[in-house]
Structure 1
Amino acid sequence: MHICMDWRSVKFDWNRARAFLVTAEEGSLSAAARALGMAQPTLGRQVEALQEELGVVLFERTGRGLELTPSGLDLLEHVRTMGEAAGRFSLGASGRAQALEGTIAVSASEIDAAYLLPPVIAKLRRAAAGLTVDLIAKNTASDLRRREADIALRNFRPDQPELIARKMSDVTARLYASELYLERFEKPLTPHTLADADFISLWSPETYLGALAGAGLSVERGNLTILSDSHLVHWELLKAGGGIGMVPEFLGDSTPGVCRVLEGSYTPFIFPLWLTTHRELNTSRRVRMVFDFLAEALSAH
């Protein structure tokens, strides 16, 4: 369902639209009121006024709080785009993006920090020369509530109500090996030859074997001949011919000398990609600008 109306007949009130946007992101009026620093009844009246103004119902009450109606979902994308445009307008009105000075800490896994984010961060620095970016590469989740980072790129959606998250995409990972390693086997490599294959474990052996079994591959503990808890070390071992490993498509498919293996013999691994931050998104111009910048760049990627 799409909202079809003559917007020229609507007296637009950005405060009402912002109240709707934050309520949708937070999932309840009480959480949105805390995020915006206003009384809940005041926020509720703004949302109700917007519904009356548009002549549509935007939220439905459920046992878990508020859920967007189809009309609300449609409007959300428009209002979110308006919010991002408002941020860009603010930068333009200031005369120079360099006014966004200070440090912003961004946390991501080693692979994302090393291979996905660098061109995005470089572009960000060109847009905001006064900004210092602290890029934290770690495979455990930074605690945003304790300000270990301002923004995190994660493979899971946070369940803490004080965090704000936006899903970017689903990342597909597959099994790869170097051409050097595959010279040891008849091509193509099949599940019947797995008894002689070496696997590089990315996590604990139990977790890694469980992931492979869940994808449809029967691999024995003895096949895990190299163990590493570092994603970058895992990747370098794979390229050097150490065995079969799991990496994202965007990395494996673009690297010369590395090939997909066992295609059609297992279900590819899907990891959601979430951009997450704390409620300072609603009060800090710097956090809002960087969050929106990363969201736009990663969505395009």
Structure 2
Amino acid sequence: MLGKLIKYEMRATARYFLPIHGAIMALALIMGIRGFDDNFLSVLNAILPVALALSFAGLGVMTILMVVKRFDSNLLGDEGYLMFTLPVKTSELILSKILTSMIWVLASSAVFILSMGFIIIRDIDLSAIWQELQSMQVDFYLIAVFVLLILMSIVHILLQVYASLGIAQAYSFAKNRILGGTLIFILITIAINTIETIGMTLMAYAFRESTWFMDLAAKIESNNFLTVISTMKLVFTVALVYITIKNILFYFLTKYHLQKKLNLE
């Protein structure tokens, strides 16, 4: 059933994302083919970059709006009467929103990278870059942890948005759910940042003279590449565990408000 929910979400959102993705790729391809030294219609050298920048800005704004609007209207609004009568678990409804949003966020990121590649393709030496990549020493654990950290960071933002909207509708924080959810999101962010800052300050003060802390500080400031890589793996791993714990908390916070505090009136 989760697959059907994701398919439904993809169909509902593709009509918004695919046109702007296509427009961005087309503009980037035109800029890459023309270059910036052509005399023919030189005014396009100013128009195309502006149009592309506006398209990127529009894509970013639309992604945020779609994440918020789809969750709000589909689960907390009138459509919620239908969605919560389906033979699916609340966890599947939440996961379908998360996975669909992640697909579009990653797709938009891929479009951005590809469009940048189209623009600069005439000015880069692909063979030299390939030789450089082949000569590099790859630490697969570091890459895996880094990729997982990025994915978990995306999930963290999505779950915090969902939890904020769930709280807003449950306690009538504001007449408008999205406005209330935005205010709660800001308050949660401030609270988390404050707690994290205080916690890190206290830890730094408590362990400032410990051998472990001094050794870690020395490794961070080291000029040895292997030492820096080893330290990065430790830092990324700790960060991954921490953000995963926050994701679990936000997930159950969202699930609780959808199961126990849902108010569709």
- TM class, shorter-length: under 0.3
Instruction: Select the structure with the greater relative contact order (CA < 8 A; seq sep ≥ 6).
Output: 2
Greater share of strand: 1
Q: TM-score of the superposition, structure 1-length normalised?
A: 0.23
Q: TM-score of the superposition, structure 2-length normalised?
A: 0.25
